[in-house]
Amino acid sequence: MAGWDVHTHLIPPTVLAAAHSGEFGLSIDSGFLVVAGKERLPLGRLADPAALLQWISDQELDGAVVSVPPALFRYDQGVEWTALVNRGLRELATPQLRVLGHLPLLHASAPAIASALGEEGVFSGFALGTPGLTGLDAVWKVLDSLQAFTLIHPGHSPDPRLDAFYLSNLLGNPYETGLAAAELVFTDVPGRFPGIRFCLCHGGGVTAALAGRWQRGIDTARPGIEAPSLAVAEALQRFAADDLVHDPAVLPLLESTFGEVLAGSDWPFPMGSDGIDPRRAVATEALTRPLGAEAALP
């Protein structure tokens, strides 16, 4: 089975070095990377590119698309944090490990950084969290010009009701992805910037189940809605989603909702898949190759 896993994670080596030095609010404690004294990322496979290469071999894949874990998006940290993360991602890039750049989405420099990263020939696109995806037309313009593969990965939901039962992940993550998709659809980003190749993690979260409700809101002119140029169904056909839903009964809905459903494992997290289903679509080399006219991986 040839192809690419579009949803895997590694901690960049520069981030690990900063943690050992106590920089950027990072530390190492009992085999965990501690972020700002709160979130704890287990080391081991998450800090071991060789383990990911073994996963690629075991799954008989061509390679994997790597992004940082969402705890490392840290949009409050600005451009210095972004530079540190991207330096580490450059170190991880190989012909079998394609990396997605990090952007300081809430900083005015985000469009310029996206443009510069897109010209390097190293980054295969970008991974974005869900801090709120409205008001980012300057970023979308750059990503559209690059025809950038753009992975939307949920960040932590701020709802305290989700603290119990691991619901911050089990329910909060799908909600956050659906919220991001809704923001993109209702601000007409797929219609206005058709070159961006969005891919929603975790099967698009709640998006497919709610698409009809969103269209009903448009059709009945609910408050605050300005009808986008594309119907919801047409807009979502311009998105891909990964297939990480843990329930094969859901897959036909995804296939009818999104333009493409791609294999994504969320390696190496426990909520990821145990293996790539050889019957599922896997991303092609053309989708994952680095941006830039003269892309040249090390």
Residue 122, domain CATH: 3.20.20.140
Does residue 39 lie in a domain region? no
- Expressed in angstroms, the distance from the first to the final Cα of the chain is 25
Q: Domain for residue 112, yes or no?
A: yes
Q: What is the pLDDT of residue 177?
A: 98
Question: Does the residue 249 lie in any domain?
Answer: yes
Report yes or no on 155 lying in a domain. yes
Q: What pLDDT was estimated at residue 154?
A: 96
> Rounded CA gap, 98 and 219, in Å?
41
Report the pLDDT averaged over residues 25-35: 95
- Over residues 153-173, mean pLDDT: 94
Counting Cβ atoms within 10 Å, is residue 39 exposed (0-12), middle (13-18) or buried (19+)? middle
What are the pLDDT digits (tens) for 107-130? 999 999 999 999 999 999 999 999
Number of domains, the chain: 1
DSSP 152-169: E-------GGGGGGGHHH
Handedness of CA 3, 258, 279, 56 (dihedral sign): positive
pLDDT at 294: 52
Domain that holds residue 255: 4-12+49-288
Question: Does 205 reside within a domain?
Answer: yes
pLDDT at 298: 45
Residue 158 has pLDDT above 80, yes or no: yes
List the strands of the sheet with 26-29, edge to edge. 26-29, 32-35, 39-42
Residue 37 covered by a domain: no
pLDDT per residue as tens digits for the range 183-231 = 999 999 999 999 999 999 999 999 999 999 999 999 999 999 999 999 9
User: For residue 161, what pLDDT is reported?
Assistant: 96
What does each C-alpha distance from 6 to 78, 100, 174, 285 come to in angstroms?
26, 10, 18, 11
What is the pLDDT at residue 297? 46
